[in-house]
Amino acid sequence: MCRFALVVALLTETGCSDNQAPSPDGPLFLAASVDGRSWAPGPEPGDLYALLGPQRVILTARRPTVQPPGEERLVVEFGTTDIFEHRNYRLAWEISGFATFQVFTQPPGGPSEAFYSTSQAHSGTLTIQASNAVDSTITGAFAFDAAPLSGDAKVHRFSGQFRVRYSTTAP
């Protein structure tokens, strides 16, 4: 699963209502919620980005945590032959698209990891709403449910909007 080794990059957060699509122009951002609580990537370079590969896009966002020290990482991956096509992508742990949320911590006693993913039973959608080939940006929204791979029954709900720069190389 080396595709999850990729890290993400965000710059600033902006406010958009759930009903309003973000403008295709303006600052880069990812504004999300996890179980109804606000979530945004860290401010460092590499904390939010989109990696464009052969017929795939991997949107990644991460933020450091303080208590306990560690990191949270949100990854949405989808297959496409045209990144500029404005459409919906199903996220259901399929080759065509999926989403994950990972929590890495360094508590006393050693590191731990929690891993949540979409599946056939817990799926969602990513929508590309705008793109700009000149600025290498895509704008869109996502909403999905993810369950822990540990077998715990708790399902988490994720939603958000983004405008992110894409590249063929990770920062």
Q: Could you give the dihedral angle defined by the CA atoms of residues 90, 92, 97 and 99, in that order, rounded to the nearest 10 degrees?
A: 110
Let me know: does 144 contact 127? Beta carbons within 8 Å: no
Interval 59-91: pLDDT, tens: 999 999 988 889 999 999 999 888 778 899 999
What average pLDDT is seen over the chain?
Answer: 83
Let me know: does 91 contact 99? Beta carbons within 8 Å: yes
pLDDT band at 22 (very low <50, low <70, confident <90, very high): low
What is the Cα–Cα distance from 117 to 144, expressed in whole angstroms?
9
**Domain residue ranges in the chain:** 2-74+81-106+117-167
pLDDT of residue 7 exceeding 90, the answer is: no
Let me know: does 161 contact 129? Beta carbons within 8 Å: no
pLDDT of residue 126 exceeding 50, the answer is: yes
Interval 83-95: pLDDT, tens: 778 899 999 988 8
Residue 151 CA: distances (Å) to CA of 12, 20, 115, 154: 35, 36, 10, 9
